[in-house]
């Protein structure tokens, strides 16, 4: 029973420590931490539009978080979510701009599939390299990120800009994930169909991991690839399959970001959400619903940072810094675990004393 | 033919300038991995050195123009050492997953430096007025062919880095310190039974990697970058690839770094070289990354990585 | 001053286990003291404290009559105490010289030549043949052990601790080691020998201190004490040295290996032209010193290693090119050598572990969906049938079980598969006597039920107790195949393990 709480305690502990570190930083540059956090968190909830934006931002993070978390379960470190996101977004945008005469549902379906496939392919490549050639996926996925960066740069730049210099043409309404009635309902928030996609993804991934033979195999490979091999599981195939799914998820993240939250692709940028996905996955203890909640938390932090910056002069990078510190603390969770154990031991000790227990 | 030579002579300094930060950072990674700690955070440590160097130079360049750059290099190195302690503490004492800890370092460095830069200059970019002035080595630069290629238009940091590289080779293979360090990365228990303080050795290894990567970042601002803009564009990861490509040996790393430096330079200078005009720019731009992937494919199978690299050292075992 | 080393009232606790409980051990100068105990009794921990690798919670250590504190191996070395570890502490890619001087180098800059000379001199003085410039990965296991000994002598050790030194040696190399130890005594050294091998103690030790479950049971003069008496002290009750086994007629051939050749990890031939068969209703024991091809043999049969040439037939069908899963389905059960690395997924529950080879089949799953209830019921059955003790039953994670219970779990899973061939590799390694007896019983049961059992073990006694026929391997070759009856002498097998065929024995 205690086991179940330890994971949550570790995550909450990391968040707390990260926020404290953030407060220290604010003080260091001469700002008032209370004001800073007040505006930071209020920024996300103070209006229905802002609240919608929290989840609009979270949408993409849920998917990149799932991508990284899923790969983690198989023992792989997917730092390539950013590149997979770009390629997924590229495919979706290209389809959206080129086939805008199709009825909306068909078009969106095409775009969905295109993003899924694009991301999947971008994930399979490092997966293959790892399975067959033992290439470490960290360096391989970083290279893939930069290759994706330039592919988008020149593909959009040469064929799809329609006159603009550094971004693609705006997608026609029929190709966007935005729902006009939703946007109006939430006073202009960016919330879109993407949130449905991401929640569905959470449910599907959880199902795969917990209830299917595929999930059983992937987890076994992640926990102990020797025993998995002994059991007859094809380890290489699992690695490739895992990266394919992880890539597909990140591709969908690109779909939701570039055709939902935003309505075009800007070139020359490696999307931060790819790396934030790592933070989301770690904070969410690589469980699907954990990812959902930590992505929402990060959405809150990001939604409010502009508001905070405008009102206090604290640079918005404080959010990214806090997130990075939280990650550091989840990695060093042993530290938090020790504190937690000391705390519990201390309480047990106090109880002994108060009930007239043994002497020291 | 003469045109070709001219072009090579022209781009050579740029290639070297690009190679040097790569080399010194990869060398830092070598120390860390040889001691048994995987350091993915080289990218972040370079950014830290990049930032610290830029800030220092900018602050001092008016007051002490002659020494501001040297001081900037030193500050960049020290900043890298200090920042690397985060990774050292997490990986060695707390036995955290070293890849996650390294990633946290990268994220933290990226966010924190821009955060601080923004409080200094609203845009977050820190520009310096004058970098290192390039210099021809007396006598040596007059040698035909080799002279113009290697010894003219050089930055003095290149020579500093090469000296550090040479010293490192000696340190690792000819001294007791190097023997013990390498033992920590191959078989830490054997080192411990022989009385070596593995924890201390690994801290030293990580701190070296922090210092050298920080120096790499500082060299960037002092030589070709001119302005801090929040990122080193993947150079830290390229250094990691150079480490693998170079099979964890100083000589191999030298070759790998040169190779990557040149590949990158060719990609950037494609507009200037008429022979390359026919290649679509996309191909040139992704060339270094694709080549890296191919190199990794060729070299990862027979990996000569330090055997205990990446595994936390637990003395209180059975 | 009679005693050169005294460890008095030592107490050392690890989370959940009291490794040393008020232990007192004394070593006389110029003697060989054996520390006898089963696996996990606390002998290695005690000696690690003496060598400075662990710190004791309570107690005193005296060297040459003076009380000392030993914080790390350097302190131990300074006091003249050295240790030859069970698992060699050698860096594979370094040379002999580099391994020996590491930690005690003469100055900042290395002088390999000078050190090499000194090492060569030492090796001649003590009769330990060695070439200082060879890399560890290129020399034999016996030589590596000599490097470990030289390490201590280079540091002027006077007290030498040997931790289970004979586990990896052939009977002949063991004999050589005994000679080396007697030499060391002649040169004035004192030796502590950690072991659980009674025969070796009888051959070489002067006195013997017996440790059981962290406590000292007593210290005896070896000459006046029988192996039976020592064994009883070690275990705490009367030990039966043999297993009840009826004679059986073997049936038809289940496993047939023909001219099998397999590469080892060093890309040389690990198994050469190996031929063997195992019949229904018999236990075929593979005897040999570690590293002579047994691992390669088992991996080639189960599919974990590629077959270079030759055939492996199960019930007549050649499976040498089949995938691991197909071989499992063809009727092979495998109790692996390393239960934590291969046999179990430690983070999985027992339910999930028991389904490791069957999860993809009905009724455990259907159309890709797992049936948790079926898996749980199956797990409960095995837990009951095989007496697996686990706190939360089928929901317990594998890492929460003791070594003995983990092994029983694997045994249960594999036997439950009801296959024609059961391969058991080191099935009782690291287990206490109770668990060993149980597992031996179940293995004989399988043989009586008509299964073909292939038993691979490094413990010759286990092979002699259980096998109907014995195949001896050395350097990847089948040296001889004998029927295990009363004519068989352990010494004959020992010679075979060293490569000497029966006809050539003197």
A156: enclosing H helix or E strand:
helix A137-159
Output A198 or C212, whichever has higher pLDDT.
A198
Q: What share of chain A is helix, strand, coil (3-state, %, to 5)?
A: 80, 0, 20
Q: Do A230 and C324 touch (CB under 8 A)?
A: yes
Most A CBs within 10 A among B85, B103, B239, B240, hence the mutation to make, goes to B103
Average pLDDT over residues C392-397: 88
- Find out whether C80 and C159 touch, Cβ atoms under 8 Å: yes
In 3-state terms, what secondary structure has residue C375? helix
Q: Which residues of A touch C346 (CB under 8 A)?
A: 223-224
Tell me: do C312 and C183 sit in the same domain. no
Q: Which residues of A touch B51 (CB under 8 A)?
A: none
pLDDT at C241: 56
pLDDT tens-digit profile of C251-308?
889 999 999 999 988 778 889 999 999 999 999 999 887 778 899 999 999 999 999 9
- Find out whether C126 and C185 touch, Cβ atoms under 8 Å: no
Closest chain C CA to residue A227: C342
Could you give the CA distance from residue B15 to residue B273 in angstroms, rounded to a whole number? 14
- In terms of Cα–Cα distance, which of A344, A328, A349, A195 is closest to A260? A195
pLDDT tens-digit profile of C7-17?
999 999 887 67
Could you give the CA distance from residue C193 to residue C171 in angstroms, rounded to a whole number? 17
Specify the range with the lowest mean pLDDT, choosing from B24-28, C25-29, C175-179, C439-443.
Answer: C175-179
Q: Which residues of B touch A22 (CB under 8 A)?
A: none
Residue B119, judged by CB atoms within 10 A of its CB (0-12, 13-18, 19+), counts as middle
Phi, psi for C488 (deg, rounded to 5): -80, 130
- Find out whether B68 and B60 touch, Cβ atoms under 8 Å: yes
Neighbours of chain B (3+ CB pairs under 8 A): A, C
Q: Which residues of C touch A213 (CB under 8 A)?
A: 359-360, 365, 368-370
Q: What share of chain B is helix, strand, coil (3-state, %, to 5)?
A: 75, 0, 25
Asked, for residue C355, whether it belongs to a domain, the answer is no
- CA C154 to each of CA A134, B196, C113, C121, C126: distance values in angstroms, whole numbers, following the listed order: 41, 16, 15, 10, 11
pLDDT at A357: 34
Most C CBs within 10 A among B190, B196, B309, hence the mutation to make, goes to B190
Length of chain A: 360
Cβ neighbours of residue C58 closer than 8 Å, sequence gap 6 or more: C9, C10, C11
B177 shares contact with chain C (CB less than 8 Å): yes
- Find out whether C12 and C57 touch, Cβ atoms under 8 Å: yes
Dig out the tokens for C65 from the structure. 């009559």
Q: Do A133 and B94 touch (CB under 8 A)?
A: no
pLDDT at A120: 97
B121 shares contact with chain C (CB less than 8 Å): no
A29 shares contact with chain B (CB less than 8 Å): yes
Q: What percent of chain C has pLDDT over 90?
A: 51
Could you give the CA distance from residue C414 to residue C404 in angstroms, rounded to a whole number? 15
Asked, for residue C379, whether it belongs to a domain, the answer is no
A102 shares contact with chain B (CB less than 8 Å): no
In 3-state terms, what secondary structure has residue A318? helix
Domain edge (last residue) among C172, C206, C235: C235
Residues of C with CB under 8 A from a CB of B: 14, 44-45, 51, 53-54, 72-74, 77, 83, 85, 88-94, 98-99, 101-105, 107-110, 151
Cis peptide before C447 (omega within 30 of 0): no
Mean residue pLDDT of chain C comes to: 87
pLDDT at A359: 32
Which of B110, B119, B244 minimises the CB distance to A315?
Answer: B119
* Helices A317-331 and A2-28, axial angle in degrees (round to 10): 140
Q: Do C94 and B193 touch (CB under 8 A)?
A: no
Q: Which residues pair with C365 in a beta bridge?
A: C370
Output C475 or C156, whichever has higher pLDDT.
C156
First and final CA of chain B: distance in angstroms?
68
In 3-state terms, what secondary structure has residue C80? coil
pLDDT at C38: 73
Which of A211, A214, A223 minimises the CB distance to C345?
Answer: A223
C342 shares contact with chain A (CB less than 8 Å): yes
- Find out whether A256 and A192 touch, Cβ atoms under 8 Å: yes
The pLDDT tens digits along chain A (360 residues) read 334 566 777 888 888 888 999 899 888 888 888 888 888 888 878 788 888 888 989 999 999 999 999 999 998 989 899 999 999 999 999 998 888 888 888 899 999 999 999 999 999 999 999 999 988 888 899 889 999 999 998 888 888 777 777 777 787 777 788 787 777 777 777 888 889 999 999 999 999 999 999 999 999 999 999 999 999 999 999 999 999 999 999 999 999 999 888 888 888 788 888 888 988 998 887 789 999 999 999 998 888 888 888 888 888 888 888 888 988 888 887 666 666 666 666 665 555 444 433 333
Tell me the torsion sign for CA atoms B171, B175, B181, B186: positive
Dig out the tokens for B65 from the structure. 């123009």
DSSP calls for A207-276 = HHHHHBHHHHHHHHHHH-HHHHHHTT--HHHHHHHHHHHHHHHHHHHHHHIIIIISSS-BSS---THHHH
Do β-strands C3-14 and C58-63 pair in parallel, antiparallel, or remain unpaired?
Answer: antiparallel
3-state secondary structure A37-63: HHHHHHHHHCCHHHHHHHHHHHHHHHH
DSSP calls for B166-199 = HHHHHHHHHBHHHHHHHHHHH-HHHHHHTT--HH
Q: Which residues of B touch C214 (CB under 8 A)?
A: none
pLDDT at A348: 55
pLDDT tens-digit profile of B235-253?
898 898 888 888 899 999 9
Q: Do A220 and C368 touch (CB under 8 A)?
A: no
Q: Do C341 and A223 touch (CB under 8 A)?
A: no
Could you give the CA distance from residue B154 to residue C336 in angstroms, rounded to a whole number? 61
Spans of all domains in chain B: 2-300
Would you say residue C198 has pLDDT above 90? no
DSSP calls for C177-225 = HHHHHHHHHHTT-EEEEEE--HHHHHHH-SEEEEEETTEEEEEEEGGG-
Closest chain C CA to residue A233: C325
Neighbours of chain C (3+ CB pairs under 8 A): A, B
Q: Which domain holds residue C293?
A: 253-343+418-504
Which of B175, B180, B190 minimises the CB distance to C89?
Answer: B190
Q: A162 to chain C nearest CA, in Å?
A: 47
Please work out, in degrees rounded to the nearest 5, the angle formed at the alpha carbon of residue C405 by the alpha carbons of C401 and C411: 130
Closest chain C CA to residue B198: C103
A285 shares contact with chain B (CB less than 8 Å): no
ipTM: 0.83
Closest chain C CA to residue A3: C397
DSSP state of B147: I
pLDDT tens-digit profile of A47-86?
888 888 889 899 999 999 999 999 999 989 898 999 999 9
Which of B177, B186, B195 minimises the CB distance to C73?
Answer: B195
Average pLDDT over residues B177-200: 92
Tell me: do C29 and C137 sit in the same domain. yes
Q: What is the Cα gyration radius of chain A? A: 22
Q: A231 to chain B nearest CA, in Å?
A: 24
Could you give the CA distance from residue C82 to residue B130 in angstroms, rounded to a whole number? 61
C359 shares contact with chain A (CB less than 8 Å): yes
pLDDT at A151: 93
pLDDT tens-digit profile of A117-129?
999 999 999 999 9
Asked, for residue C276, whether it belongs to a domain, the answer is yes
- Find out whether A78 and A145 touch, Cβ atoms under 8 Å: no
Q: A223 to chain C nearest CA, in Å?
A: 7
Biggest distance spanned by C-alpha atoms of chain B = 69
Which of A77, A315, A334 minimises the CB distance to B96?
Answer: A334
Q: A222 to chain C nearest CA, in Å?
A: 10
Q: Which CATH architecture has domain A49-313?
A: Orthogonal Bundle (1.10)
A233 shares contact with chain B (CB less than 8 Å): no
Q: Do C89 and B189 touch (CB under 8 A)?
A: yes
Q: Which residues of B touch A278 (CB under 8 A)?
A: 103, 107
Size of interface A-B (CB pairs under 8 A): 126
C261: enclosing H helix or E strand:
strand C253-263
Spans of all domains in chain A: 1-31+317-351, 49-313
Q: Do B111 and A151 touch (CB under 8 A)?
A: no
Q: Quickly state the pLDDT bin for B87 (edges 50, 70, 90).
A: very high
In 3-state terms, what secondary structure has residue A299? helix
Q: C395 to chain A nearest CA, in Å?
A: 12
Asked, for residue C386, whether it belongs to a domain, the answer is no
Q: Do C348 and A226 touch (CB under 8 A)?
A: no
pLDDT at B317: 35
Which of B94, B114, B300 minimises the CB distance to A133?
Answer: B300
Cβ neighbours of residue A308 closer than 8 Å, sequence gap 6 or more: A36, A39, A40, A43, A314, A316, A318
Tell me: do C35 and C97 sit in the same domain. yes
- Find out whether C286 and C476 touch, Cβ atoms under 8 Å: no
Q: What percent of chain C has pLDDT over 70?
A: 94
Tell me: do C339 and C473 sit in the same domain. yes
Dig out the tokens for A295 from the structure. 């992505």
Tell me: do C227 and C267 sit in the same domain. no
CATH number at residue C15: 3.40.50.300
Buried b (16+ CB within 10 A) or exposed e, C316-331: eeebbebebeebbbbb
pTM of the model: 0.83
pLDDT tens-digit profile of B198-212?
999 999 999 999 999
Closest chain C CA to residue A235: C324
- In terms of Cα–Cα distance, which of A262, A263, A264, A87 is closest to A161? A264
Q: Do C370 and A228 touch (CB under 8 A)?
A: no
pLDDT at C242: 60
Dig out the tokens for B189 from the structure. 């228990």
Tokens 């007896």 correspond to: C437
Q: Which residues of C touch B316 (CB under 8 A)?
A: 14, 54
Could you give the CA distance from residue C342 to residue C248 in angstroms, rounded to a whole number? 32
C352 shares contact with chain A (CB less than 8 Å): yes
Could you give the CA distance from residue A329 to residue A323 in angstroms, rounded to a whole number? 10
In 3-state terms, what secondary structure has residue B19? helix
Could you give the CA distance from residue B190 to residue C230 in angstroms, rounded to a whole number? 33
Q: Does domain B2-300 have CATH number 2.60.40?
A: no
């Amino acid at each position: 029973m205690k086991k179940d709480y330890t994971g949550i305690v570790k995550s909450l502990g990391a968040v707390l420590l990260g926020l404290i570190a953030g407060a220290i930083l604010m003080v260091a540059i001469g700002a008032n931490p209370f004001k800073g956090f007040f505006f930071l968190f209020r920024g996300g909830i103070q209006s229905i539009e802002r609240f919608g934006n929290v989840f609009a931002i979270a949408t993409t993070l849920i998917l990149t978080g799932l991508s990284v978390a899923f790969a983690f379960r198989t023992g792989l470190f997917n730092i390539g979510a950013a590149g997979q996101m770009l390629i997924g977004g590229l495919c979706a945008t290209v389809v959206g701009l080129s086939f805008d005469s199709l009825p909306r549902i068909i078009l969106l379906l095409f775009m969905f599939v295109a993003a899924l496939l694009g991301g999947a392919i971008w994930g399979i490549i490092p997966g293959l390299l790892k399975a067959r050639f033992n290439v470490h996926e960290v360096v391989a996925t970083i290279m893939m990120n930069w290759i994706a960066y330039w592919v988008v740069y020149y593909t959009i730049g040469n064929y799809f800009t329609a006159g603009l210099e550094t971004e693609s043409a705006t997608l026609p309404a029929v190709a966007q994930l935005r729902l006009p009635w939703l946007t109006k309902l939430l006073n202009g928030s960016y919330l879109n169909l993407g949130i449905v996609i991401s929640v569905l993804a959470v449910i599907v991934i959880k199902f795969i991991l917990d209830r299917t033979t595929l999930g059983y195999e992937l987890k076994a490979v992640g926990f102990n690839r020797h025993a998995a091999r002994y059991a007859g599981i094809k380890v290489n195939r699992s690695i490739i399959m895992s990266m394919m799914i992880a890539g597909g998820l990140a591709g969908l993240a690109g779909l939701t970001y570039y055709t939902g939250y935003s309505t075009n692709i800007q070139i020359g940028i490696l999307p931060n959400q790819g790396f934030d996905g790592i933070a989301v996955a770690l904070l969410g203890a690589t469980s699907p619903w954990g990812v959902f909640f930590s992505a929402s938390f990060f959405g809150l932090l990001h939604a409010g940072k502009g508001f905070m910056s405008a009102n206090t002069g604290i640079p918005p990078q404080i959010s990214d810094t806090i997130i990075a510190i939280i990650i550091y603390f989840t990695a060093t969770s042993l530290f938090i675990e020790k504190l937690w154990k000391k705390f519990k031991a201390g309480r047990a000790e106090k109880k002994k004393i108060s009930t007239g227990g043994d002497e020291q | 033919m003469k045109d070709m030579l001219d072009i090579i002579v022209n781009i050579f300094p740029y290639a070297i300038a690009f190679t040097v930060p790569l080399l010194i950072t990869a060398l830092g990674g070598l120390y860390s991995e040889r001691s048994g700690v995987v350091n993915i955070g080289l990218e972040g440590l370079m950014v830290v050195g990049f930032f610290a160097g830029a800030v220092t130079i900018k602050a001092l360049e008016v007051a002490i123009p002659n020494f501001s750059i040297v001081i900037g290099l030193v500050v960049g190195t020290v900043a890298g050492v200090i920042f690397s302690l985060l990774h050292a503490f997490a990986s060695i004492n707390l036995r955290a997953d070293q890849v996650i800890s390294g990633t946290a370092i990268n994220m933290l460095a990226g966010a924190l430096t821009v955060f601080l830069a923004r409080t200094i200059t609203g845009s977050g970019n820190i520009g310096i007025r004058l970098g290192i002035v390039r210099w021809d080595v007396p006598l040596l630069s007059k040698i035909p062919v080799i002279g113009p290629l290697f010894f003219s238009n050089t930055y003095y940091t290149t020579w500093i880095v090469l000296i550090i590289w040479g010293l490192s080779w000696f340190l690792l293979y000819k001294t007791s310190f190097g023997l013990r360090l390498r033992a920590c990365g191959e078989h830490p228990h054997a080192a411990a039974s022989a009385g070596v303080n593995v924890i201390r050795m690994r801290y030293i290894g990580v701190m070296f990697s922090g210092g050298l990567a920080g120096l790499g970042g500082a060299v960037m601002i002092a030589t070709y970058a001119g302005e801090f803009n929040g990122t080193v564009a993947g150079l830290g990861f390229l250094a990691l690839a150079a480490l693998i490509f170079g099979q964890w040996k100083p000589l191999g790393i030298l070759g790998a770094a040169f190779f990557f430096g040149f590949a990158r330079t060719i990609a950037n200078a494609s507009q200037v070289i008429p022979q390359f005009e026919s290649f679509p720019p996309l191909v040139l731009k992704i060339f270094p990354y694709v080549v890296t992937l191919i190199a990794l494919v060729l070299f990862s199978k027979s990996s000569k990585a330090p055997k205990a690299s990446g595994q936390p050292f637990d003395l209180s075992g059975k | 001053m009679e005693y050169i080393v005294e460890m008095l009232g030592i107490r050392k606790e690890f989370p959940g286990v009291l490794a040393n409980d008020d232990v007192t051990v004394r070593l006389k100068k110029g003697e060989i003291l054996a520390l006898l105990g089963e696996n996990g009794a606390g002998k290695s921990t005690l000696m690690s404290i003496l060598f400075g690798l662990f710190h004791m919670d309570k107690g005193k250590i005296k060297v040459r009559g003076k009380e000392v504190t030993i914080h790390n191996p350097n302190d131990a070395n300074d006091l003249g105490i050295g240790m030859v570890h069970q698992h060699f502490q050698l860096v594979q890619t370094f040379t002999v010289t580099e391994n020996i001087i590491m930690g005690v180098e003469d100055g900042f800059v290395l002088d390999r030549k000078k050190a090499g000379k000194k090492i060569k001199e030492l090796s001649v003085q003590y009769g330990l043949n060695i070439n200082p410039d060879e890399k560890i990965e290129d020399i034999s296991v016996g030589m590596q052990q000599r490097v470990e000994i030289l390490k201590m002598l280079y540091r002027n050790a006077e007290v030498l601790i040997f931790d289970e030194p004979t586990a990896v040696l052939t009977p002949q190399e063991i004999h050589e080691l005994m000679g080396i130890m007697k030499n060391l005594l002649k040169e004035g050294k004192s030796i502590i020998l950690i072991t659980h091998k009674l025969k070796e103690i009888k051959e070489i030790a002067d006195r013997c201190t017996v440790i059981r479950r962290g406590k000292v049971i007593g210290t005896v003069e070896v000459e006046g004490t029988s192996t039976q008496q020592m064994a009883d002290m070690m275990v705490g009750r009367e030990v039966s040295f043999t297993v009840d086994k009826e004679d059986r007629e073997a049936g038809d051939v289940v496993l047939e290996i023909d001219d099998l050749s397999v590469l080892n990890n060093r890309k040389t031939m690990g198994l050469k032209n190996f031929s063997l068969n195992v019949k229904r209703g018999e236990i075929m024991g593979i005897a040999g010193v570690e590293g002579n091809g047994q691992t390669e043999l088992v991996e080639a049969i189960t599919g974990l290693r590629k077959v270079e040439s030759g055939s492996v037939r199960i019930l007549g069908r050649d499976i040498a090119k089949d995938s691991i899963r197909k071989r499992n389905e063809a009727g092979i059960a495998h109790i692996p050598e390393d239960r934590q690395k291969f046999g179990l997924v430690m983070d999985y529950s027992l339910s999930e572990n028991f389904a490791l080879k069957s999860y993809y089949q009905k009724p455990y799953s259907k159309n890709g969906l797992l049936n948790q209830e079926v898996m749980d019921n199956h797990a409960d059955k095995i837990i009951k049938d095989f007496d697996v003790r686990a706190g939360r039953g089928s929901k317990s994670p594998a890492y929460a079980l003791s070594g003995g219970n983990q092994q029983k779990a694997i045994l249960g899973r594999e036997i439950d598969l009801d296959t024609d061939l059961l391969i058991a590799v080191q099935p009782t390694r690291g287990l206490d006597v109770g668990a060993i007896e149980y597992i031996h019983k179940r293995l004989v049961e399988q043989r009586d039920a008509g299964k073909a059992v292939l038993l691979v073990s490094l413990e010759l006694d286990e092979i002699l107790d259980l096998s109907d026929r014995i195949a001896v391997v050395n350097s990847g070759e089948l040296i001889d195949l004998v029927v295990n009856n009363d004519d068989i002498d352990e010494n004959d097998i020992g010679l075979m393990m060293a490569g000497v065929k029966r006809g050539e024995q003197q």
